Amino acid sequence: MLFYSLFWAVLSEDMVKDGYQNIVNIDISSVVIEQMKEKHMDFPQLTYMQLDVRDMSFFGDGSFDCIIDKGTLDAMMCGDDAPHGAYKMLAEVARLMRPGGIYMLITYGAPKERLTLLNQVRCRWEVELYIMPTPEYQLKWSNGAAHAMMEKVALTVDGQLPPDYVLKDPESHFIYVCYKSDIVTEDNSMVAGQDDAMTSF
C-alpha cells in the first residue's frame, strides 16, 4: 500500500493497528520524512521515503494494490506546472497500481474539476464517487446526533455528475475510488475487477 501526504500520518499508524502491513508513506519534504521516521520507529510495517509523485521511477510497474491520496493532487493543482504536474502524478499512480488495484483520492476538489483529471486517457479505471458533508452540516441535519453521512453518487456513462445533481454542502469532502482495469483490450476499453481489488490489500 502506498500513502501520499503525511498530513494524515496518524491514519497510517491506525491502519497498522488494524492489521495492515507494508505501508509505504511518501512526501517531497525530507524534513517531514525524517520526523515521521523518528515518530514511528516502533512500527516496522511503515516505510518512509522522500519522493516526487510526478516521478516514481524508483518503483516498478504494478507495485501496489492500493494508493491513498489525501490532498496531494490538490497541492499539485495549485503548483506552478498545474495542471501538467497533476497529469504526470496520475499517470504514475496508474502505472504503479496492479490490475484490480484501487486509488483512493480524498479531496476538496469538486467533480467538475477532478473527474476531468481522473478520466484522462492514460488512466484506465472505473471511478466511484462518495460525498461526505462537513461535521457541522451533519449535525445541523441530524438534530444534534453526530453520525457519518457519506453519500454514493451514481455517475453518468461518461463518468460525470448527473446534470440534475445538487450538492447540499459546498464544503464537503469528495472521495473518489478508482478501480484499475484487470484487462486492457486492444481498443483500450476496460474490464474492471472491483471484487478482487477489495480483497488485495
- Render pLDDT for 31-76 as a digit per residue (tens, 0 to 9): 989 999 999 899 999 999 999 999 999 999 999 999 999 889 999 9
Distance of CA 162 to CAs 117, 129, 165, Å? 17, 12, 5
Domain ranges for the chain, please list them: 1-51, 72-198
Pairing assessment for the beta strands 173-184 and 2-4 based on DSSP bridges: unpaired
68-115 pLDDT tens trace: 998 899 999 998 888 899 999 999 999 999 999 999 999 988 888 898
Place of cell 493543482: 77
Q: Mean pLDDT score of the chain, rounded to an integer?
A: 82
* Long-range pairs, 49-58, Cβ under 8 A, ≥24: 49/24, 49/25, 50/26, 51/26, 51/27, 52/28, 53/4, 53/26, 53/28, 53/89, 53/92, 53/93, 54/85, 54/88, 54/89, 54/92, 55/88, 55/92, 56/92, 56/95, 56/96
Q: Is the pLDDT of residue 151 over 50?
A: yes
Closest CA to 98 of 3, 2, 7: 2
Taking the model in full, what pTM does it have? 0.83
pLDDT category at 124 given cuts 50, 70, 90 is confident
- pLDDT of 7 above 70: no
Distance CA 169, CA 114 (A): 17
